[in-house]
Structures are given as structure tokens and as C-alpha cells.
Amino acid sequence: MNPMDIGFMQQAIQEAQLASASGEVPVGAVIVAAGRIIARSHNQTELLKDPTAHAEMLAITSAANYLGSKYLNECTLYVTVEPCPMCAGAIGWAQLGSLVYGASDDKRGYSIFAPSALHPKTVVRSGVMAEEAGHLMQAFFGKRRR
């Protein structure tokens, strides 16, 4: 596994931990351009009372504002869990150069419901720190079930 992928995914996991600490589903994201983080976020659907306030969506908005462009084709999105179809659509419209995610989402992941939502040139790498990201999700939902 690429050491840079590990470092940036660790940053996304820190964002996911912030989400969990505030009662949000623990998904975190960072966007990287030219080797540095230009945007970071975590789920904020409860805080904002907004079903679209997923980590990926918020990070894409932040990165686009930072770059002054709606296209992020020179950027990489690191996210702890496989994006949902909504987020995959946004990733596609932003034309992100790369998507790197940790844990797969067998219930709501884009690869099941919208496998062609991404831009055709987007490079996808999955399974980066999947165990750590999956553990955050399992622990969060385990607490909610009790």
C-alpha cells in the first residue's frame, strides 16, 4: 500500500472520529491537491439537519471554493467508507482525479447502486485502512443498538 495513501487516510479517519464524537455517522474525508490537504470534513447531517451533508459533499464544496473551480480533476478524495450514490454523483460531476476509500459499504455503496456514477477518468483505490474505518462504523452502530 502507498505510504501517502496511509497518511491521508489517517487524516480522514481523524475526521471520522470527530463525527462519531458529535453523534454523527463516523465518515471522514480529505481532499488532496499537489501532495497537500486542501479540504477536510466529516458527516454533519445531524448538526445541519441536512441529509446531503455527507463528508464527501462538504469536502468537495470546500475544495472547489479553495481552488475557485468546480472541477477537481487534479485532486484525490480520501474517504473512510465507500461513497453512497449521491456522493458518487458529486464526485463524478466534480471530475475528481482519484477516489481512495477504506471500508466497502455493502448496503449503500455506489458500486452496488450506481457503479457508473464516477467520471470515466477517475482512478479508484479501495480497501485503504479498511479495517480501521470499518471498526469505527461497527463501534458507532453497536453503541446505538444498545
Residues near 88 by beta carbon (within 8 Å), at least 6 away in sequence: 110, 114, 117, 118
Q: How far apart are CA 12 and CA 15, in angstroms?
A: 5
The active-site residue out of 15, 24, 46, 56 is 56
Helix (H, G, I), strand (E, B) or coil at 13: helix
- Residue 43 CA to residue 53 CA, distance in Å, equals 6
Per DSSP, what are the bridge partners of residue 99?
Answer: 77, 124
Judging by DSSP bridges, how do beta strands 36-42 and 98-103 pair with one another? unpaired
Q: Provide the b/e sequence for 4-35 (b: ≥16 CB within 10 Å).
A: ebeebbebbbebbebbbeeebbbbbbbbbbee
Is residue 24 flagged as an active site residue? no
Catalytic residues: 56
